Amino acid sequence: MDINKDGDTEVIASPITAIKNGYYYFPDWKTQIYTWNKEAKTLDLKQTIDNILPAVRWFYFEENAQSSFGATAKILFTKDGNKIRMVGNDTSKAITKVDITI
């Protein structure tokens, strides 16, 4: 997705770096935003947001999109003036908005 409409593709990830209860299914309380570097064909880390997981909304019918899950997930963003904010959940599970600085 192109969060800030600058023509670059951003990738949003919540890494899993440790086994919890014997499973890898639980993400760390961290969100990382990467930009796709076309020349190097790599993801460049642009921002790390600690103690937040992105709020996800599932869409079951989306033109020109598919996934093996049968739905696509959208991360929610808001815009306040010139600030772009990601909607997420903090460690207390409260919904919060975090400034995106990419």
d(CA 71, CA 26): 20
Amino acid of residue 38? K
CA dist list (Å): 47 to 14, 15, 40, 61, 86: 12, 13, 19, 30, 12
| In the predicted structure, residue 70 carries a pLDDT above the cut 90 | no
Structure tokens at 36: 């796709």
pLDDT band for 66, please (50, 70, 90 cuts).
Answer: low
How remote is the C-alpha of 101 from its chain's centroid?
13
Model confidence over 43-56: pLDDT tens digits?
Answer: 999 999 999 999 88
